[in-house]
Chains A and B, each alone.
Chain A
Amino acid sequence: MRRITLIVTAVVVVLFIISWIIKTNTVPEDGTFRPFIQGFLVTFAAFLTLAIMSFLYRDNPFYKFAEHLYVGVSAAYAMSLGFWTTLVGNLFPRISQNLSDWFGVPFLHYEWHFVIPPILGIILLMRLSPKGGWISRWALAFIVGTTAGLNLPRFLRSDFIEQISSTFLPLLVQWQGVGPFFSNFSLAASGQFIAILTNITIFLGVLCGLIYFFFSKEHKGVFGTASRFGIWVLMVTFGASFGYTVMGRISLLVGRLTFLLKDWLGIIS
């Protein structure tokens, strides 16, 4: 390790300990609370926050530490959660009295079909044996097959047909007592003009957007013009979505800085 790394690490450790001591004395006391541990945890959370943010400058040992800790802890978290909620909570009470008792969950009743998924699961684990690898594909085939079957009609319904039928808009909206098109152009009529423009844009936008996605036809002539209009509409949308999302992302940063400034440093109230 280079000397500068050592110095920075030492400084960080010292600051951490100082913050821990101060935090221990400032966390509010209430019966069950353990200020010493709680002080450590808040300081540690702040340390991890800063460690991740330091990545913006460049890769460094603190980020590496936080990253590896995060990956390890989260993988174990998923495993533990899955084990307790799914296996203990859902599977064991349906297949084994003994296992349920051992984990302290009430046994429901025996259901024969719940034996199938553990068998498939064990088949899947056969991958780890050098010779049984081929059998693990049975479980994969089951998962991939059911997924494909599930998606086949369901996407045609929700995404497809619903989207098509909601494009059926009259291109001209009804005139509501304003008279013919140009004779009585008032504010209300301009509203209707916008409504017409809106309907036409939706109609043409969907149509040309679809034409852009044609793969087996050359995008030339009228077809090419439509396809180009389609990609323009797409780009307008992408730009707008990007611009709109900025707001939400800044809110996240505000949340994080508030944690650092308020919960940890106590600069703002």
Chain B
Amino acid sequence: MKREIPLMIVFVAGLFMAVQFFVPHATSEYIYEFVMEWTIIIGIFALALGIWSFIKVAASKIQRRSENWQYSIVALAGLAGMIIFALPWFGGLESYMFRSFFNNVMIPLHATMFSLLAFFIASAAFRAFRAHSALATVLLLSALIVMLRFNPYMGPLGDIDADIASWILNVPNLAAKRAIIIGIGLGIVATALKVILGIERTYMGKD
């Protein structure tokens, strides 16, 4: 029974949502909206599980004095601080400290982490764009053609390059993306089908 009931739930819920797609009636729309709202709310409860896991891992590191345990204190302090500042007594999401933390800690960290991509895209290009096979050469050349548009000293070659670059970005790009997306569509449907039919059940765990 421990396994059958969840598989039943998967089957019923899956079939129901699949059928819902074909029913335009308001009742079906209501059910769709409810289910969407439910999953968001369940997600918040799950987040509590996540935070618990986070605390458990950090606490065990501190307890065992494993390498870099000091930084786990920083992580826990950040966690606690942010949660405390968002408590109703501090004014919830509108509290000064909560907003300051968001604007001066989270935003700069986010933007900087994101901007590291500028460096990594350069090192990846250096490392991987080597003409060691025909395929690698194609990859390298098409990247170079697109990047060359930014070189102002190309003369008339620049015009030709710009045209080729925009053609590549429009035509083969479209074709390849379409092939990938069609494949993905089939893969998604196949996987969804396997899940609903209970063929794929590894995620259920075992007892």
Contacts and interface: CB of A to CB of B under 8 A. Distances in A.
A and B: interacting chains: yes
Interface of A: 37, 41-42, 44-46, 48-49, 52-53, 55-56, 64-87, 90-91, 103-104, 113-114, 116-118, 120-122, 124-125, 127-128, 134, 137-157, 159-160, 163-164, 166-167, 194, 198, 201-210, 212-213, 230-247, 249-250, 252-253, 255-256, 259
A238 B106 CA distance: 32
Interface string B164-198: 01011111111111111111111011011101100
Contacts, number: 375
B150 A247 contact: yes
Contacts of A77: 82, 101-102, 106
Contacts of B139: 235-236, 238-239, 242
A207 B108 CA distance: 45
Interface of B: 2, 5-7, 9-18, 20-22, 34-35, 37-52, 54, 68, 71-72, 74-83, 86, 88, 92-93, 98, 100-109, 111-119, 121, 125, 135, 138-147, 150, 165, 167-186, 188-189, 191-193, 195-196, 203-205, 207
Contacts of A149: 13-18, 20, 192, 196
A230 B179 contact: yes
B117 to A, nearest CB: 4
12 contacts: A37-B100, A45-B108, A72-B75, A72-B76, A73-B79, A79-B47, A79-B51, A103-B88, A117-B41, A149-B18, A163-B182, A241-B173
Nearest to A127: B49
